[in-house]
Chains A and B, each alone.
Chain A
């Protein structure tokens, strides 16, 4: 197996852990949401999911940088490094990291942070898989912002539905 294949496998594994972990976490929190002031971060399933997401991020960071080294060695140049798709993906990942840090430090409202986080994981995954994105950087970012809003509305709908059932 060559390095490029190994790095791609690792990158996909990191994505699976991150996207899977985030999806499970959102569904679990929505299902077990309550009106009492119980700290969800103390829940075991939540702690395990957060750990998986963190391991996914670490694997993604190293494998992603490994792929960038191979791009650099092949001198892929500005056409690849500064393509709209790649730049958008990097911005999405930065926002994801900031949202994750702010959530862990409890600086932000969890509802908004979870929408940003979930939308960012899916957006980064889609941008990674969609090889030839025929859109400009600003169009992709506008789509990303719309996706965050949509994610927030969907999560809010299920949050309210879950609270009504209780």
Chain B
């Protein structure tokens, strides 16, 4: 693997992890009695950007390297199901994430008054945020499992 691919793989992981951390911070913030709108806006915006960067860098790595160099290695081993089930699931579920994080970002920016005043709406947004964090975490774990299936 050349250094460019290592960088893209690292960026994919770093920004995915950053999105988890920021959305968790968003979840903790929105659960307070008096959430700071400034921190909610910042966390939702940066987590959306992080998912986009993770998507692009992961997509580049997948299309230029994984498909032709890693996938055959996994498929010929005893753990071929790791590609067939986990990677295939990961590829498709990841597609939800830019839209979920965009929704959280949109709610925070466009419906900030409702977010401040309506406790039920805040709870619903918190549930959406928790769901998004859970999906990203599941995808991260999937990525670790896939990496573990690659051997010489």
In this complex, which of B6, B9, B13, B147 has the most chain A Cβ atoms within 10 angstroms of its Cβ?
A: B147
Given contacts A73-B1, A101-B24, A105-B28, contact A68 B17 (CB under 8 A): no
Chain B residues with CB under 8 A of A28 = none
Chain A residues with CB under 8 A of B149 = 77-78, 81
Whether A72 pairs with B147 at a CB distance below 8 angstroms is yes
Chain A positions 74-89 with a Cβ under 8 Å from a chain B Cβ:
75-82
Nearest-CB distance from B87 to chain A (Å)? 14
Chain A residues with CB under 8 A of B27 = 101, 105
Q: Interface residues of B, CB < 8 Å — how many?
A: 22
CB of A6 within 8 Å of the partner chain: no
Interface class of chain A by DSSP: helix
Q: How far is the CA of A104 from the CA of B31 in the complex (A)?
A: 9
Question: Nearest CB to that of B24 among chain A residues?
Answer: A101
Nearest-CB distance from A158 to chain B (Å)? 28
A130-159 toward B: CB 8 Å interface, digit per residue (1/0)?
000000000000000000000000000000
A63-76 toward B: CB 8 Å interface, digit per residue (1/0)?
00110110111011
Chain A residues with CB under 8 A of B14 = 62, 65
Whether B152 pairs with A69 at a CB distance below 8 angstroms is no
Chain A positions 40-71 with a Cβ under 8 Å from a chain B Cβ:
58, 61-62, 65-66, 68-69, 71
Whether A72 pairs with B150 at a CB distance below 8 angstroms is yes
Counting chain A residues whose Cβ lies within 8 A of the other chain, the interface size class is: 20 to 34
Chain A residues with CB under 8 A of B13 = 65, 69
Whether A104 pairs with B28 at a CB distance below 8 angstroms is yes
Whether A61 pairs with B21 at a CB distance below 8 angstroms is yes
Q: How many A-B contacts at CB < 8 Å in the complex?
A: 53
Q: How far is the CA of A58 from the CA of B25 in the complex (A)?
A: 12
Nearest-CB distance from B45 to chain A (Å)? 19
Q: How far is the CA of A62 from the CA of B11 in the complex (A)?
A: 11
CB of B106 within 8 Å of the partner chain: no
Chain B residues with CB under 8 A of A81 = 144-145, 147-149
Given contacts A69-B9, A101-B24, A105-B28, contact A62 B17 (CB under 8 A): yes
Given contacts A75-B152, A104-B28, contact A65 B17 (CB under 8 A): yes
Chain B residues with CB under 8 A of A101 = 24, 27-28
Q: How far is the CA of A101 from the CA of B21 in the complex (A)?
A: 12
Question: Nearest CB to that of A105 among chain B residues?
Answer: B31
> Among A58, A75, A78, which residue has its beta carbon within 8 angstroms of that of B21?
A58
Nearest-CB distance from A11 to chain B (Å)? 14
Residues of B within 8 A of A (CB): 1, 6, 9-10, 13-14, 17, 21, 24, 27-28, 31, 79, 141, 144-145, 147-152
Residues of A within 8 A of B (CB): 58, 61-62, 65-66, 68-69, 71-73, 75-82, 90, 101, 104-105
10 contacts between A and B (CB under 8 A): A58-B21, A61-B21, A62-B17, A65-B14, A68-B144, A72-B147, A73-B6, A77-B149, A78-B151, A90-B141
